[in-house]
Structure 1
Amino acid sequence: MLFILCYGVLAGWLGSSHAYAQSVEKGTDMLASPHLVVLMVPALGFEDVKKWMDGLPEDIQSHIQLAGMTMRTAGRIDWVNNLFTLSTGQFAEGPPLWNGYQLPGETIIHPVQKLRELHSKRSGLLLTADQRPWGYLGETLQNHQVFTFALGNSDTRHMMRRMGATLIMNSKGEARGHIGSTILTPAPYEPGDWRTDWDQLSAELETVWNRQPRTLTIVELGDLWRIEQAYDKFKRTARLSQIYKEKWLSEWQTWFVNTVQHLLAEQNRSVTIWVMTPAVSKEAKARGQLLAPFLTWHPGQQGGILSSATTKQTGVVANVDFLPTLLAYYGLSVPSRAYGEVISLQETLEQAGQEGQTFFASFFDDLQYLFVIYRTRRIIISVYLLVMIFLLIATACYWWFSKQYWGARIVQVLIGTVLVSPIYFLWLTPLIQVIGPYRWIVLLFCSAFVTSFVLYHLVSNLWFLTLIGLTNTLVILFDLWRGSVWMRRSFLGYDPLIGARFYGLGNEYAGILLGSSLLAVTGISVWLSRQGWLHRRRVKGMLVMFISVFYLLIIYSMAAPRLGTNAGATIAALLTYAVSLLFLFRLKVSWRYLTPVFGLVVLCLAGLIHLHLQGEHTHIGTFVQAAQQGDLQTIGEILTRKLEMNWRLIKVSLWGKLFTTALMVMGLVSFRLRRNPLYKHYEEMAQHHMWMTGFRTMIIGAMTILMVNDSGVVAAATTIIFLTFPFIFLRFNRHSIRTGSAPPGLA
């Protein structure tokens, strides 16, 4: 195990260089001013933003706050669904063929009148999950005397695209603005036949600011979208597309600098500028760069990196945070049922002691690391799961059909390789930046194989499995208590780009933690039983107390708001660990002892719930608040989402195939054992039933975590590998390996 610990120290040093997203002390919030301009730039990616920012003067960069925004919606990730998610603060799905607003003399696919007809005929179509109509943001701002205005469009030669006005429409589907050609100029030799008229845009903004005391102006700069639609369809025009993009970014940069300098010269006017996009470019999407740029500027704010309580990751915010942040900007209350939280400054240039260009360069490097992980995740996880499924079937077949077990040592070492591999998923991730995914997966298995081989030759079968389970448990707990620095960038960790999970204990490692802890406790109990110590009442009582504390530590780590905050894993662990203690040590249940234990459990649960309600925003806290308010609809949505997600994953995911394969192998092996002539010996070994009780407990844990967790099949699959592989491993005891005879039973 010294090899594993030394490797962990080295990996921790490597990982620390990429721990940019670690939790830091919250900084100053974004400053508000009477006038807010939101520059909506469809088809904008982070590579474009990096080029654009590199040319900005240092005095402007030092007041920029930046983050990547997720684009998760209730349906597919596209600009329509993302716009409705941004404007409602909930994961939404817009109507098909949505295309903005109707202007006199224009024919649009989905005009306002059609929208009203749909609203009257099918009211559910245009309502969010809590029955708040689309247009909530615009209606709320209008009721609080905030003047809203939309400018610009993303029209092309063949299609009209009106995105900006969607954000500020009211409940009637109406919005003020000039979304025709007001800020455009004809350009017959450029993409889409139109381009932004920067002088006219400045004039329109001045008009809005002069006429109204408090304003929100959405400016849709659709030039990048027009370029992409015109040229990105064919490889031969890619270079021409890039030339137009660079030209436009330069024009936009010049206009931005001039506008900022003009605002700074006018001492009596305060304006804040936000930059965002409802959809990244096709090029960014193809490269796995699925975070939309979100940028703010105000002359009085500190430059830095943004975050929110939704993600708890520096530099990453959620699209559902947009509405709460916009309402908070104008001093308006945030709806209690909004999914997001207010975006705030997390790390500043002053804290880092760097200039803007150097500071933001490290942020872009960290984003690039995140994009590489996302781009290669599917390949690595697919290969990893296919190898596990193949090894599971191959080892079971080898045990079933082989009469001589000369190669069983290799089989056992390979099983150990699979069980050790989750640790290296935590440690080796930074190396993906210097080696490709296939080399990375080879390195993963080689590292795990060497560890398994060395450990196999140092200890007995019993301690081989026990130490692997204990090491997995302790490493995961260590990472949780230090802020999940390894897990948040692990291929088996959570995925912030698609908004699946941003912090805490991911479902993959929740299952690994549950399964490995049960394997470790079972192994220790079997060893103590063999030594005859469990027959001593005092030793048995001390062991039960020690394991109870160990289990409570894991449960707290799973549930605490600043640690795991995984409700499904917590529920599964409570039930599974209780069953483990009762049946592993044959505890007698009586009301004398059951009542205080039940009271202690209730007290602990109450304490954890209080932490979630009083502390930071968490999913558990949201669920508890819904239960307190009798919000059956929200609770129903959560439960429905869990069922739908699990059923979909079972049908199409490799995790579902691993789970079902493991169950089938377990059934076949158990059936063969009962038909084996040596069944009598197996029955004698099973009377001790320590191992079998531990394995049955793992089945309970896997089934429970499957039912109570969204993506529960993932957690169930990682739990059950610590059941199926050790179960097969123990078919090959070392005496039978040396003699070449059939294995008599459990080691």
Structure 2
Amino acid sequence: MRHRIFIIILFISIVFSICQPSLSATQSKNILIFDIPRLTLEDITPQYPNLYRFVKNGAVGIMTTPLSEPVALDQIYFSFNSGTQVKAAEENYLLFDVNEKYRQVAVGDLYHSLTGYRAGTTGVVNIALAKIIQLNSRDITQNIGLFGELLHRHSLKTAAIGNADADLISRCGALLLMDQKGQLDYGDIGSKSLNNDPSFPFGLRTDTNQVFNTWRDFHQKASAVAVTLGDLERLERFSLYLSELQRERFRKQVIHQYDRLLGQFFQEIDFHTTLTMLFTAQPPLQNIGAGQRLSPVVLKGPGFKGGILYSPSTRKKGIITCYDLPITMLHYLNIPKSRYFSGHVLRRVPGDWHLIRSEQQQLIQNYNIRWPLLTTYSYLLIGLILIGIIGAFFWPKQLKLLQYLAQVYLYLITIPVVFLIEAMINPLNWFAVLGWTLGLATLVWVMVRYWAHGSPLLVLSGISLLTIAVILFDGFFNGILELRSFFGYSAIAGARFYGVGNEYMGFLLGAVIVTVSIYLSKMNRYRNQILWLLTGFLAIFLAHPNLGSSIGGGATALIGLGITTYLWLRRPIRWKEIVGLIVAAVFLLVLVGLWDYFLNNTNMTHFGQFLEVIRSQGFDTIVNLIQRKLELNIRLIAYTFWTKVLILILLAIPFLYKKPPLPVARFIQKYPNQTRGFYGLTLSAIIALLINDSGIVTVTTMYIFGLPMLLLLIIEDLSAKKGDEPDGDS
């Protein structure tokens, strides 16, 4: 009997000895965040050896935050913590050690009276929590403090050290780890982490010894620690009163101090068990004013040893979103991702981190060039359209002028496809951009004119076909050209990173409708099959998560092109047909959603994540989404006078088509295929406006191809009346 008991005890001891290291390894996983606002990649040089070595041996990326301008510093911290956009209050910075006093009131007591929660004796509390919750809608409030809440649910302690206090309290670093009660377990974010230094802006400087010693204490107790080094932020707030030379002297002095402190940290951090992050919420305001809105992020630890960060959120090497960071940390700690979080798990891919600096500069130059370039282009088009329309009605005998204007317009609509083609070259200064753009546009225009034998409508169709081909080609390769095209999306703005954006979706649909309208009379055999296959193909291409990745685009293509197809086929459009198209669009979205949710899990798009949110929060989420899209479209429509004019045109065209004056009725009768196509394009544009966020952008780019077809037909009609060209359908 004793022998058996001994064997059992021995067996249990062996099992525990085997399991214990694994258990210990799991429990010892840690997160350490170095929060250094206003640091840039350009600051990281061999002059600062500890910082440089950390970056060299870590995985590097540049972070974008898709927030509405202007972006406040605290919004970025909230986005990290909450995994979504949170409306900020002026009091966001009111985080305190629980034992501090605020306006002569004990913070712990004040926090309890404001929230009803009791705080521990060693932690940090946010006394503005109630106001922040009131500012945000119900579907957002459950995200506030979510990262810290998930850590606490898994029995992991949190801590924050340091601040960026200056003339005002600034303790955003603690927001990174705050839970849904506005609490952290341990904290030293008050004045104890500062030294008085009359020679430094605001007379305050980080006490590096206090910060380091506090961390040595906290990291034994807490699994997640955020260390804020706020001297660069203090310097930023004081920069208006400093000469450029003095500002740079202070920056170098501060970074040298940081470098020495980081060297102390790195000697004691176990990078085998601690995922360490260098986090910069924003670069200096001077850089932001120059277009540099991306900020550096470095991860070092298990799985992140040298190389570049890759995010499925952007599908681009080196470019990540702030939402990816908390997801990656949760993944490292073996905590399941919350369905309320946006973002994806980051991974390290091979690459030289210096290329990230080069990529950042290229994105900045592209961003700074595109707005003046596109503004000039837009006003050129608007001017030509107005002159052409006014000329057609008031000086119909001046055909030479109208024909000349039409040729200039045809030349200008080569620009969208030229921008995509020249993205392969990626010119980044004005001389190169203008040279390549004019050269390629001239080449395309000459080649298409040669192919079309000078026929204006065939020139338009040739440019449209080339535009369609290049957009489809780029869509099959993840939209890499569109990211660099001046008409494409910008990583700096952070709204989209892959697929087909609203601008090129409009170009694609407009070019398709124009091309089919011109060639429809030649589609005698299989016309019905060709048109419906084309509609289905474009809808799938635009909606598919691995191609166009535009749910609104897919629905617009299916419903809008479906209605246009009925018009081309001269079939009546009743409620039955419209409901059928809507049902088909819903079916397409369901298929795409299932693909994205189940088969595309690691690269899930916004639509797949949206389905997750619907599953967890109910259909109120759809109402909130529609409301946000409408608000965005209304803001964009109100942005300029010309968008209001465009809306009037959208509303007027269906009325003119259904109740046309006699001259318009004759024109429709003479060019039935093209006018039906233009009417269908207008209806598709209305659908795009209703379905898509920034839908007014899609409307505009659709008309860039639609209006010249109408202008060319008017010129042809005027020529025919003079006997210059034979009458008949084109």
The residue number in structure 1 matching 2:381 is: 388
- How does 1:635-674 map onto structure 2 within 5 Å? 635-653=622-640, 656=643, 659-660=646-647, 663=650, 674=661
Q: Secondary structure at the match of 1:188?
A: coil
Structure 2: tracts of 5 or more residues without a match: 1-25, 116-126
Task: Report the Cα offset of residue 525 of structure 1.
Answer: 0.8
Q: Distance in 2 between matches of 1:665 and 1:416?
A: 25
- Report which stretch shifted further, 133-142 or 714-723: 133-142
Among candidates 657, 671, 676, match of residue 693 of structure 1: 676
Deviations, residues 656-700 of structure 1 (Å, cap 9, x unaligned): 257347659969998999465xx78636514xx111111111011
Q: Secondary structure at the match of 1:307?
A: strand
Partners of 2:407 and 2:456 within 8 A in 1: no
Q: Distance in 1 between matches of 2:674 and 2:277?
A: 60
Among candidates 709, 714, 719, match of residue 731 of structure 1: 714
The residue number in structure 1 matching 2:11 is: none
- How does 1:103-114 map onto structure 2 within 5 Å? 106-107=101-102, 113=110
Q: Secondary structure at the match of 1:51?
A: coil
Task: Report the Cα offset of residue 522 of structure 1.
Answer: 1.4
Task: Report the Cα offset of residue 504 of structure 1.
Answer: 1.1
The residue number in structure 1 matching 2:334 is: 331
Q: Secondary structure at the match of 1:732?
A: helix
Task: Report the Cα offset of residue 54 of structure 1.
Answer: 7.3
Task: Report the Cα offset of residue 341 of structure 1.
Answer: 2.2
Deviations, residues 71-116 of structure 1 (Å, cap 9, x unaligned): 3336741112222221111111222232232455654799773763
The residue number in structure 1 matching 2:497 is: 502
- How does 1:581-730 map onto structure 2 within 5 Å? 581-586=565-570, 606-614=590-598, 615=600, 616-627=603-614, 631-653=618-640, 656=643, 659-660=646-647, 663=650, 674=661, 676=663, 682=667, 684-686=669-671, 689-730=672-713
Q: Does structure 1 residue 456 correspond to structure 2 residue 449?
A: yes
- Report which stretch shifted further, 734-743 or 489-498: 734-743
Q: Does structure 1 residue 558 correspond to structure 2 residue 551?
A: no
Task: Report the Cα offset of residue 41 of structure 1.
Answer: 0.9
Deviations, residues 282-303 of structure 1 (Å, cap 9, x unaligned): 1221121111221112277431
Q: Does structure 1 residue 304 correspond to structure 2 residue 313?
A: no
Q: Secondary structure at the match of 1:487?
A: helix
Give the 3 Å change call, closer, same or farther, for CA 53–348 of structure 1 in structure 2.
farther
Among candidates 56, 59, 72, match of residue 66 of structure 2: 72
Percent identity over the alignment is 23
Q: Distance in 2 between matches of 1:314 and 1:122?
A: 35
The residue number in structure 1 matching 2:79 is: 85
Taking only aligned residues, the RMSD between alpha carbons, in angstroms, comes to 3.8
Give the 3 Å change call, closer, same or farther, for CA 672–592 of structure 1 in structure 2.
closer
The residue number in structure 2 matching 1:144 is: 154
The residue number in structure 2 matching 1:204 is: 214
Q: Distance in 1 between matches of 2:690 and 2:303?
A: 50
Q: Secondary structure at the match of 1:189?
A: coil
Partners of 2:339 and 2:612 within 8 A in 1: no
Which amino acid in 1 is paired with 2:299? T
Structure of greater relative contact order (alpha carbons < 8 Å, 6+ residues apart): 1
Q: Secondary structure at the match of 1:369?
A: helix
Task: Report the Cα offset of residue 325 of structure 1.
Answer: 2.5
Partners of 1:404 and 1:742 within 8 A in 2: no
- Report which stretch shifted further, 727-736 or 644-653: 727-736
- Report which stretch shifted further, 165-174 or 516-525: 165-174
The residue number in structure 1 matching 2:419 is: 425
Q: Distance in 1 between matches of 2:712 and 2:559?
A: 27
- Report which stretch shifted further, 139-148 or 718-727: 139-148
The residue number in structure 1 matching 2:173 is: 164
Q: Does structure 1 residue 348 correspond to structure 2 residue 367?
A: no
Deviations, residues 192-245 of structure 1 (Å, cap 9, x unaligned): 323233333332222223x32x52111110010111222x215x6111111111
- How does 1:408-557 map onto structure 2 within 5 Å? 408-429=402-423, 433-436=427-430, 440=433, 444=437, 447-449=440-442, 451-453=444-446, 455-456=448-449, 458-526=453-521, 528=522, 534=524, 539=525, 542-557=526-541
Partners of 2:716 and 2:725 within 8 A in 1: no
Give the 3 Å change call, closer, same or farther, for CA 609–739 of structure 1 in structure 2.
same
Which amino acid in 2 is paired with 1:96? E
Among candidates 286, 291, 302, match of residue 288 of structure 1: 291
Give the 3 Å change call, closer, same or farther, for CA 558–672 of structure 1 in structure 2.
closer
- Report which stretch shifted further, 706-715 or 605-614: 605-614
Q: How many residues align?
A: 682
Give the 3 Å change call, closer, same or farther, for CA 547–664 of structure 1 in structure 2.
closer
Deviations, residues 120-164 of structure 1 (Å, cap 9, x unaligned): 6895336763441633333332332222111111122x2222222
Task: Report the Cα offset of residue 606 of structure 1.
Answer: 4.6
Partners of 2:94 and 2:171 within 8 A in 1: yes
- Report which stretch shifted further, 108-117 or 325-334: 108-117
The residue number in structure 1 matching 2:240 is: 233
Which amino acid in 1 is paired with 2:209? D
Q: Secondary structure at the match of 2:414?
A: helix
- Report which stretch shifted further, 581-590 or 366-375: 581-590
The residue number in structure 2 matching 1:11 is: none
Give the 3 Å change call, closer, same or farther, for CA 166–681 of structure 1 in structure 2.
closer
Partners of 2:174 and 2:226 within 8 A in 1: yes
Q: Distance in 2 between matches of 1:648 and 1:164?
A: 32
Q: Does structure 1 residue 94 correspond to structure 2 residue 88?
A: yes
Q: Distance in 1 between matches of 2:129 and 2:264?
A: 44
Q: Distance in 1 between matches of 2:147 and 2:329?
A: 9
Q: Distance in 2 between matches of 1:248 and 1:548?
A: 65
Task: Report the Cα offset of residue 319 of structure 1.
Answer: 1.8
Which amino acid in 1 is paired with 2:39? L
Q: Distance in 1 between matches of 2:474 and 2:618?
A: 35
Q: Distance in 1 between matches of 2:409 and 2:32?
A: 59
Task: Report the Cα offset of residue 56 of structure 1.
Answer: 5.0
Task: Report the Cα offset of residue 562 of structure 1.
Answer: 0.7
Q: Distance in 2 between matches of 1:589 and 1:398?
A: 35
Partners of 1:626 and 1:635 within 8 A in 2: no
Q: Secondary structure at the match of 2:547?
A: coil
Task: Report the Cα offset of residue 251 of structure 1.
Answer: 2.8
Q: Distance in 2 between matches of 1:463 and 1:380?
A: 28
Give the 3 Å change call, closer, same or farther, for CA 599–273 of structure 1 in structure 2.
closer
Partners of 2:388 and 2:402 within 8 A in 1: no
Give the 3 Å change call, closer, same or farther, for CA 641–597 of structure 1 in structure 2.
closer
Give the 3 Å change call, closer, same or farther, for CA 462–415 of structure 1 in structure 2.
same
Give the 3 Å change call, closer, same or farther, for CA 118–360 of structure 1 in structure 2.
closer
The residue number in structure 2 matching 1:43 is: 38
Partners of 1:271 and 1:298 within 8 A in 2: yes
Task: Report the Cα offset of residue 479 of structure 1.
Answer: 0.7
The residue number in structure 2 matching 1:5 is: none
Q: Distance in 1 between matches of 2:133 and 2:379?
A: 46
Q: Distance in 1 between matches of 2:531 and 2:132?
A: 57
Task: Report the Cα offset of residue 642 of structure 1.
Answer: 0.8
Q: Distance in 2 between matches of 1:644 and 1:600?
A: 27
TM-score, normalized by length of structure 2? 0.84
Task: Report the Cα offset of residue 576 of structure 1.
Answer: 2.0
